Structure 1
Amino acid sequence: MKKYIKIISLVLIALIFIGTFVFLYQKSQPKDTAYDILHTKTTDLAQITVATGKIEPRDEVQIKPQISGIISEVYKEAGETVKKGEIIAKVKVIPELGSLNSAESRVRLAEINGRQAETDLERMEKLYQSKLVSSEEYEKTLLAAKQAREELQAAKDNLEIVKEGITKSSASFSSTLIRSTIDGLILDVPIKVGNSVIMSNTFNDGTTIATVADMSDLIFRGNVDETEVGRIHEGTPVKITLGALQDMKFDAVLEYISPKSVENNGANQFEIKAAITVPDSITIRSGYSANAEIELQRANNALTVPESAIEFSGDSTFVYVLTDSVPTQKFTRRQVQTGISDGVNIEIKSGLKANESIRGLKKEM
């Protein structure tokens, strides 16, 4: 019995040894490597750069008050259209006590002078009718009375302006009524009834009552890297893609390239602007993020191959041209001169002919 067990053990050890030897032998044998075969093709090729930015109206105006006070009425909301001269809000003036006292004092003084001038005029008229004074003296008294009347009216108007910011005679030109300065769409109304506002002057920008823009004239504003700005120019066609409308592309024309760079994340970039053509049926909102595709170079009817097939070695480029496929694939290394690339395909200026086959990526075995 022990003899049989010993024999079986030896046989198993021999089988394991033989199996291991066969496995290692097979692993050590070289395998044929297969590659995808690619073909040259003739097509139009364009090198494109993408600038990121946003959409905004060309004309965007901040409406500011010409008088300080408190908002008493708001007539418009964001999203409404407005015409030039249309009222957006109304400001109630809060008079300054010093100015108010001065204006009231001026009115009282003008009333005193006015009453005296009228009394003098009545007395002078009686004397003039009795031919006791000359025409010259009468006319001087009449002129003084008229001046007193004008001064009284001016003092009263000034008091109204101090109190209300408006006079009855100039209500249509009131600075308390905040009007739009352009036709457009109201983008924002940051104030509410009861808010204090400051007038716009040399030393203060003033409180923004509303932001109004002409949404029929939109532009793309973005940045281009300094390595590419030298290859673009005004008038270049641009394709705009919006983050909110990714299935659509809009035509645009590059119309501005900044002469001065700005630093952005350590890179020098130049601001660009492009005028967008938007169909009437499409609504675009101010501030949409967008990408602008700008053509840097173009090659028409160019001989191209996939860029993944190119071997880069220093300043030289090579491809592997198929010379035989039976029984195994055979290739020869050939130097080529390349041109522009669109990121997928690359132009071959010399070194290859149409319809030649080249080596691609290695196949999964």
Structure 2
Amino acid sequence: MKKIFKYLVIVIALGGVAFATYFFIQSNSKTVEVFETEKPFKATIQKKSVATGKVVPEQEVEIKPQLSGIVDKLYVKEGEVIKTGDLIAKIKVVPNEASLISAQGRVKNAEIVLRNAQIDFDRNKTLFEKGIIADQAFNTAEFNHSQAIQSLQNAKNDLKIIKEGTAGGGATNTLIRATVPGTILEIPVEEGDQVIESNNFNDGTTIATIADLTKMIFEGKVDEAEVGKLTIGMPLVISLAAVNDKEFDAKLKFVAPKGTEESGTVQFTIEGDVYLDEGFFIRAGYSANASMIIDSRDSVLSIQEVLLQFDKETGDPFVEVETGVQVFERKDLKLGLSDGINVEILSGVTAEDKIKVWNKTEPIKRESQYSND
């Protein structure tokens, strides 16, 4: 029994030695990880800000009628290019009943006054020719007669304007013409629609909107954190969603003095003149992005941001610099401007230091969807 127990202990001991030997061999057979290094380099770093907005005409003119009525005829369509004075629409006058009755009454009163003035004038003329009355009495009767004729004519003109929109002596108000050259952007009315005249108490109905599409501006908004870095006249680069692989130069011309709160942040409106190319037709209202350089550093010592590491406790940036073959030492850094890819190094490393690439990723190997049977 003792011999069996003795042999069992020996077997267990030999098994332990064999396992320890195998574990030692496997542990020492692992491939040693070799880290690559990169040196700092000189680079120009630019910090850009992007404002979202749209491209619109510099000026849009709304054409409104000078009298109320119904759109009788439209002579243009949206998208047409017109000149100043071109006919846009014709308005059919629908007179106001109260104004019409009042004008008709003024005509009748003027006719009555004229009849009385005519009788008085004829009587005084006969007496004057016989030498019965003086020159002054005849001149007064003649003046009253002429004044009555003019009053009747004025009353008839007023009545005609109310009924037809014109007295016939000049340009009719029923014909709506373009006041500026440009492109018809919008015609919000149709034939048969009722329109209201523009006056001191009402803006009136818009017949058409005209704009010059060769003079466009960018309208967008920037965050309050960046508005202080903008200066009038600074260059912008405009990219349009509707125009691929093309950017347009622009120049900032306006920054709003007051911001508006949107979704918890304060936004400021900006405007910039856009320099268009003749080969591209830009429509009003295209969505656009404007990129602007708000800070820049030329030829400064830089590294890629992916080389940075951050202290878990303090959050301070650092890198590992090679001091021997695959031997690295931590170097704390002071950073400057960053563009999201490269970052400026103010202190901590030199141009000759070799920085450890600590987070290099291997390309992902994708297995085929189909396996061989």
Note closer, same or farther for the CA distance 1:212–1:43 as it changes in structure 2 (3 Å cut).
same
Alpha-carbon distance between aligned partners in 1 of 2:25 and 2:221, rounded to the nearest angstrom: 61
353, 363, 366: which one aligns with 1:356: 353
Matched, 1:41 2:38: no
The offset of 1:353, in angstroms, is 2.1
- C-alpha distance in 1, partners of 2:257/2:29? 65
- After the TM superposition, which of the residue ranges 180-189 and 288-297 deviates more from structure 2? 180-189
Deviation at 1:324, TM superposition (A): 4.1
* 1:303 maps to 2:296: no
2:310 is paired with a residue whose SS is: strand
C-alpha distance in structure 2 between counterparts of 1:228 and 1:79, whole Å: 38
Do the aligned partners of residues 163 and 23 (structure 1) sit closer, same or farther apart at CA in structure 2, a change above 3 Å counting?
farther
What is the Cα deviation at residue 28 of structure 1? 9.1
1:91 offset after TM fit, Å? 1.4
- Alignment of 1:317 onto 2:317: yes
Deviation, 1:33, is 3.0
Q: Deviations over 1:222-244 (max 9, x none)?
A: 11111111222212111111111
Alignment of 1:52-131 (within 5 A): 52-131=52-131
Give, in whole Å, the separation in 2 of the partners of 1:164 and 1:85: 21
CA distance in 1, matches of 2:96, 2:212: 38
User: 1 or 2, which has the higher strand percentage?
Assistant: 1
How far the C-alpha of 1:95 sits from its partner, in A, is 0.9
Match of 1:210 among 208, 211, 224: 208
Letter in 2 for 1:137: A
Question: Match for 2:70: what amino acid?
Answer: I
Q: Partner of 1:52: helix, strand, or coil?
A: strand
The Cα of 1:363 is off from its aligned counterpart by: 4.1
For residue 356 of structure 1, give the secondary structure of its aligned residue in structure 2.
coil
**In structure 2, what is the Cα distance between the partners aligned to 1:29 and 1:125?**
140
Q: Which amino acid aligns with 1:62?
A: E
Provide the residue aligned with 2:341 in structure 1. 344
Measure, in 1, the Cα distance between the counterparts of 2:174 and 2:23: 96
Check whether the contact 1:41–1:355 (CA below 8 A) recurs between aligned residues.
no
Superposed CA offset, 1:127-167 (max 9, x none): 22222221111111111111111111111111111111211
Aligned to 1:194: 192
8 Å Cα contact 1:36/1:363 also seen in 2: no
Conserved in 2, the CA contact under 8 Å of 1:33 and 1:362? no
- Measure how far apart 1:246 and its partner are: 2.8
Q: Which of 326, 329, 332 is the equivalent residue of 1:332?
A: 329
* Deviation at residue 354 of structure 1 after TM alignment: 2.2
Find 2:223's aligned residue among 200, 222, 225.
225
Q: Describe how 1:177-192 pairs up with structure 2 within 5 A.
A: 177-192=175-190
121-130 or 268-277, larger mean C-alpha shift: 121-130
Deviation of 1:31 after TM superposition, in Å, equals: 4.8
Equivalent position of 1:167 in the other structure: 167
Task: Provide the secondary structure at the position in 2 that maps to 1:121.
Answer: helix
Instruction: Give 1:263's match in structure 2, choosing from 261, 268, 287.
Output: 261
Q: How many pairs are equivalent?
A: 342
Deviation, 1:30, is 5.7
Partners of 1:35 and 1:363 within 8 A in 2? no
Q: Quote the residue 1:287 is aligned against.
A: 285
254 and 140 in structure 1: CA distance in 2 versus 1, 3 angstrom threshold = same
Counterpart in the other structure of 2:4:
none
Distance 1:68 1:271, change over 3 A: same
In 2, Cα distance between equivalents of 1:230 and 1:36? 42
After alignment, is 132-141 or 316-325 more displaced? Answer: 316-325
Paired with 1:140 and 1:22, the residues of 2 have a C-alpha distance of 141
Alignment gaps of 5+ in structure 1: 1-17
Structure-2-length-normalised TM-score: 0.85
* Correspondence for 1:143: 143
CA RMSD across the alignment: 2.4
- What code does the residue aligned with 2:162 have? V
